[in-house]
Chain A
Amino acid sequence: MVQKKARDTWGSRLAVIMAVAGSAVGLGNFLRFPAKAAANGGGAFMIPYFIALFLLGIPLMWIEWTLGRFGGGFEHGTAPGIFHSIWQKNRFIKYFGIIGIFGPLIIFIYYTYIESWTLAYSFFALSGKYRALADQAAMKSFLSGFQGLEKNQYFSSLAPAYLFFLATFFLNIVVIYYGIRGGIERLCKWAMPALFIFGAILMVRVLTLGTPDLSKPDWNIFNGLGFLWNPDFSALKNPKVWLEAAGQVFFTLSVGIGVILTYASYLSKGDDVVLSGLTASSTNEVAEVILGGSIIIPAAFVFFGPLDIQSIARSGVFNLGFVTMPLVLNKLPLATAFAFLWFFLLFLAGVTSSVSLAQPAVAFMEDEFDISRKKAVWIFSIVAFILCQPAIFFLKNGVVDELDFWGGTFFLVVFATVETILFGWVFGMEKAWDEIHKGADMRVPRVYKFIIKYITPLFLLFILSWWLLKEWLPIIFMRNVSVANRPYIFATRIGLLAIFLILGMMVRIAWRKKRVLEGKLR
């Protein structure tokens, strides 16, 4: 008889909640959310934000937790196997599941590099490397030199960035090498509380800034909070604001990637998913709305004033995190300590997310090819390391943006739409409702039966078509790409297509092997 190895499991319920919350809490919570809220109606932004959270984010969270646990019961930890378990009569549905491995792998290959910048800046904060820089232009030049975009007085090569990338990559591999319980669970158990403590310290520091320059009484912390929270109701008439809110909720919860499916597949059949999913979501929201909303924008307002903050808020996530924030922190007493806390907070948010992005590919090899975790991690690390190189060396040619568009935006919405329709319509709402409530510690309000079946898929289809027409078509046709960068973008697309096709072939081989094995057993 063929003996399958036992799958890994979570050590406790709190561990899986922390791991899923760790996956969801990322750089976006501290950088993307405050910038989006400030630019899209301030306090009024929270109206579409909460609507999207309850109609899109939380239902998707419950869908993924339930599907993951269901698939885990069939020893499948990734979307091809999970989708096949739901719709066994359909031969093609497992191929849609490829997105659930492809997406996280693609995000992993550029996210790890960006995460390594936060580790580098934590080190620079302690060593005082950028301590003397006092304006945006100098700090921008420091960042560009570090990223290898230009050679300047701060950096003459990409070597420092590459060293920090190697350290970050190695750390990620070590964590996944030790598995769910020995690696990811152990990391999240200390990293998540540390992240919240660091965030709380920084929040208290920012909220007690008062009016640092008494000659400019309007540049105070209350007006800084007001820049983020004062409602502009006219923004609600703009459909773009509603879509920005939906997009923020979607990306912040890590839904539509395939990571939650994999994490939930390590639950037992009787483990609760309703309360655990809601707890992980609420933990993410605390990090985003309370901590994320109280650090960077109010602090930047206090030091740069009401005029500059407009352009700062629109300057993009990297500029906010790596240019504005170090300048702000440089102006505080104990600058070294606070700057280290800020960048290490981002690093912790990054590493708890990146290990989750690696896990689907590892789980796919373990579950569908029945190879050991250690061997799967070796294969993953070699492949991922090679794939990371274009993101590092061709950053200036727009490769990271291209990877982010396909892996971190386009396929996320497609994948979420497929799994929502599968859950509500193919699996069937009655069966799905029973499955959600197996071992549940609380009941999902009955209105969600209607929301999950009709509202969430319609919401997703609407977002998909709107973004496709308004934002994605120019990206797909490379309308905003310079002629010089087009070959790089084209080559990235060919590479992505090749990865997708290889994953498709792997799914085909895995299922063929299974059929042969089943035939032998009969």
Chain B
Amino acid sequence: MTAGGWIFMVISWGAILLLAIFCFWKVFTKKRLE
């Protein structure tokens, strides 16, 4: 795998994992705007 391949894989996995962790963390802490 080339350096470019690693970069794309790590960024894609990282972005998706971060989004999922952020969402589930928010879901379980349940802060309401109202």
Q: Chain A interface (Cβ within 8 Å of chain B)?
A: 13-14, 17, 42-44, 46, 50, 222-223, 225-226, 229-231, 270, 272, 275-276, 278-279, 282-283, 285-286, 289-290, 437, 439-443
If A226-B1, A279-B24 touch, whether A285 touches B8 (CB-CB below 8 Å) is no
Q: Mark B1-34, 1 if CB is under 8 A from A, else 0.
A: 1101111110111011101100110110011111
B17 CB to closest chain A CB (Å) equals: 7
Cβ-defined partner of A290 (8 Å) among B2, B16, B26, B32 = B16
A226: B residues at CB distance < 8 A? 1-2, 5
Cβ-defined partner of A43 (8 Å) among B5, B16, B20 = B5
With A43-B12, A279-B27 already in contact, 14 other A-B pairs whose C-beta atoms are closer than 8 Å: A42-B8, A229-B6, A229-B8, A230-B4, A230-B5, A231-B2, A278-B19, A279-B24, A285-B20, A286-B20, A289-B13, A437-B33, A441-B27, A441-B32
A230: B residues at CB distance < 8 A? 1-2, 4-5
Residue of A nearest to B3 (CB): A230
For the complex, give the distance between the alpha carbons of A149 and B13 in Å: 40
A43, A225, A283 — most chain B CB neighbours (10 Å): A43
B16 engages A285 (CB within 8 Å):
yes
B5 engages A275 (CB within 8 Å):
no
A46 engages B33 (CB within 8 Å):
no
Residue of B nearest to A43 (CB): B8
B34 engages A439 (CB within 8 Å):
yes
> Majority SS of interface residues in chain B?
helix
B16 engages A442 (CB within 8 Å):
no
The 5 closest A-B pairs by CB, nearest first: A43-B8, A226-B1, A279-B23, A229-B5, A230-B5
For the complex, give the distance between the alpha carbons of A42 and B4 in Å: 10
A440 engages B17 (CB within 8 Å):
no
Residue of B nearest to A279 (CB): B23
Residue of B nearest to A442 (CB): B26
A440 engages B24 (CB within 8 Å):
no
23 sample A-B contacts, Cβ–Cβ < 8 Å, listed by A number: A13-B27, A13-B30, A42-B8, A43-B4, A43-B7, A43-B9, A43-B12, A46-B8, A46-B11, A50-B15, A229-B5, A229-B8, A229-B9, A230-B2, A231-B2, A231-B8, A276-B27, A282-B16, A282-B19, A289-B13, A439-B32, A439-B34, A441-B32
B16, B26, B30, B32 — most chain A CB neighbours (10 Å): B16
Cβ-defined partner of B1 (8 Å) among A229, A279, A442 = A229
Cβ-defined partner of A231 (8 Å) among B5, B16, B33 = B5
A44 engages B8 (CB within 8 Å):
yes
B33 engages A225 (CB within 8 Å):
no
For the complex, give the distance between the alpha carbons of A442 and B20 in Å: 14
A223: B residues at CB distance < 8 A? 1
B7 engages A275 (CB within 8 Å):
no
B33: A residues at CB distance < 8 A? 437, 439-443
For the complex, give the distance between the alpha carbons of A270 and B20 in Å: 23
For the complex, give the distance between the alpha carbons of A276 and B30 in Å: 11
A275 engages B16 (CB within 8 Å):
no
Cβ-defined partner of B27 (8 Å) among A17, A222, A231 = A17
For the complex, give the distance between the alpha carbons of A441 and B30 in Å: 7
